Structure 1
């Protein structure tokens, strides 16, 4: 598991990891443990919507419209 002590919301380094809130993203060796300065930052992080390209097929990001002269995608 990889560990990040950089709070992704405040961009401050978390020094007291024994008391700091955290989340674990992923599983196994590729998991990432992310520490936060406080519960508010953790909640804000968890509220950020993310796309899961290998799992979320509800919306297509394809742009079938031509983008201008010379665009081969028509």
Structure 2
């Protein structure tokens, strides 16, 4: 059975252009990649067994697992 894809947040070191790092991440298997140039982050999804390879890409400082956050509706009760 195939493992589910894992959403990740890739923090860049700033030593390479974000476009270059994103290209290398996609080549390894980062899908749905979105580059957030203003904060030096690339987000996407990948197979869990590829996370270690993503961490080794030049220009990557960290790869963290992304978690869904639900803050509820604006007029909802505070708990």
TM-score by length of 1: 0.26
Larger Rg: 1
More strand by proportion, 1 or 2?
A: 2
Q: Which has the higher contact order (CA 8 A, sep 6+)?
A: 2
